Amino acid sequence: MAPIKGILSLQRAALARRHSNSLGLGFRKFSTQGATTAATPPPPPPPEKTHFGGLKDEDRIFTNLYGLNDPFLKGAMKRGDWYRTKDLVLKGADWIVNEVKKSGLRGRGGAGFPSGLKWSFMPKVSDGRPSYLVVNADESEPGTCKDREIMRHDPHKLLEGCLMAGVGMRASAAYIYIRGEYVNERLNLERARKEAYEAGFLGKNACGSGYDFDVHIHYGAGAYICGEETALLESLEGKQGKPRLKPPFPANAGLYGCPTTVTNVETVAVSPTILRRGPEWFSSFGRKNNSGTKLFCVSGHVNKPCTVEEEMSIPLKELIERHCGGVRGGWDNLLAIIPGGSSVPLIPKNICDDVLMDYDALKAVQSGLGTAAVIVMDKSTDVVDAIARLSYFYKHESCGQCTPCREGTGWLWMIMERLKVGNAKLEEIDMLQEDPGACREGVARGCCLSTQAYCFSGGYHRIK
């Protein structure tokens, strides 16, 4: 019987081998795992979001933007600030940076660089030098006033954000460099800082986490150039506010030669809410690579100028009509809009009809989101006169360090003054697009490009 059983076993094995080959299965896989079922296809991706705007009140990060409630500690804690902050700190630096990366938060100061990536440039292991966080509150761009509202009405949100960002960067202290003219904002911020120290939220053993973190407030003296990060660091060190050459970059040698990250008020202030609600919540707003909510400050020829928090990628037309009561005289009375502060080129009405308010959409139409300071001009505006006034601002605020900026901004202003009376030449307009200098404060070229946009849309009658 034994030989017969052996023969039968061999026959069964041969049949199994042939059967597995006919099914396209390997014999070894068949013999050890059995027949496999067909893989379930992955579910289709969710439909891409196509409408943006209409942010709900429960999704707003800055819930006291208009100062209707108490801006100080008791009111801030009722609104959720400093809630279980210790738990967030104890999750560690890597967790904080990774959450900010996953949220898609981009810098709100104008450049739009991914914030989590920027924070990760700070050294993870100390070489003996302390690391610093510097908050750029030197808000001086014409048309921009969003950070003012945060510091005036929600100062604890900024201070808690400093702690969160500081832990993520492994920083020992934060320096808030506030514009000198912001007197009320400075007073509110100082009072909030005192409250936070007395409550144990800042200083030694911040929030009972075992992490030591200090916040210092430094006042500027009115120089626009100190909004440039390295000029700001020079000013903090007691020197003239003039930009440094790069490299080295601040993450390697910044304040007092130590690793430093300079970031915007709004960028820091939103971080605690992102960490509490989760990066998926934040990234659900706006288009891909343009995530989150954003503060927009709208001024100029609108019925109700305001600063408002809205979803990124909201259509420009909807932003103005929903929150500002529309353009003075109706949408058809619109001439042009500067969408991101005076340093970005203006866009004419035909583009304003459909453009979205985010980094990529405005870049695609040769402009930029900048600081999201929307300056509206109706048909009563003399665009050349308006840009001549802005060009004088850049001439006045040039630090004089770089020749292209020191001389070029003066040329720009003189050419614009001649253009106002029809005494400029076409080649002069082209010349204004030359190299602006070593820092982005040479962005007066935005005015030049705005002038070109105007000229190409029908303003040639003023050029010889």
Using CA atoms, how far residue 89 sits from 165, 196, 207, in Å, is 10, 16, 8
Predicted confidence band of residue 16 (pLDDT cuts 50, 70, 90): very low
Residue 292's closest CA among 45, 69, 62?
A: 62
Percent of the chain with pLDDT over 90: 64
Given this model, what pLDDT does residue 98 score? 96
If you average pLDDT over residues 71-87, what whole number do you get? 96
d(CA 150, CA 157): 8
CA-only gyration radius of the chain, Å:
28
pLDDT the model gives residue 404: 78
Question: Tell me, what's the pLDDT at 361?
Answer: 94
Q: What's this model's pTM, rounded to 2 decimal places?
A: 0.85
The strands making up 347-348's β-sheet, listed across from edge to edge, are 306-311, 293-300, 373-378, 334-338, 347-348
Q: Tell me the residue type at 313.
A: S
What confidence tens digit (pLDDT) does each residue in 158-183 have?
A: 999 999 999 999 999 999 999 999 99
Res. 446: pLDDT tops 60: no
CA distance 235 to 216: 14
Helix then strand then coil, % of the chain, to nearest 5:
45, 15, 40
Q: Which two tokens stand for residue 386?
A: 């308006």
Task: Give residue 148's pLDDT.
Answer: 95
87, 96, 209 from 74: Cα distances, Å: 20, 26, 21
pLDDT score for 239:
92
Give yes or no for a cis peptide into 155 (omega within 30° of 0). no
Average pLDDT over residues 76-88: 96
Phi-psi category of 182—alpha, beta or left, where left has phi over 0 and alpha has psi -120 to 50?
A: beta
In degrees, to the nearest 5, what angle opens at C-alpha 79 toward C-alphas 78 and 84?
80
The predicted model gives 37-58 an average pLDDT of 73
**pLDDT recorded at residue 267:** 96
Phi, psi of 173 (to 5 degrees): -160, 160
pLDDT at 345 over 70: yes
Contact between 404 and 436 under an 8 Å Cβ cutoff? The reply is yes
Which of 424 and 224 is assigned the larger pLDDT? 224
The pLDDT value given to residue 459: 59
Could you tell me which residues come within 8 angstroms of residue 80 by beta carbon, excluding any fewer than 6 positions away?
Answer: 276
**All residues at 6 or more sequence positions from 294 whose CB lies less than 8 Å from its CB, including other chains:** 108, 286, 309, 310, 311, 312, 357, 372
Q: Does 459 or 16 have the greater pLDDT score?
A: 459
What whole-number distance in Å separates Cα of residue 152 and Cα of residue 183? Answer: 10
Q: What are the helix (H) ranges across 398-444?
A: 403-420, 426-431
Spatial contact of 86 and 207, defined as CB atoms under 8 Å apart: yes
Whether cis (ω within 30° of 0) applies to the bond prior to 248 is yes
30 pLDDT higher than 50: no
Cβ-Cβ contacts under 8 Å for 2 (sequence gap 6 or more): none
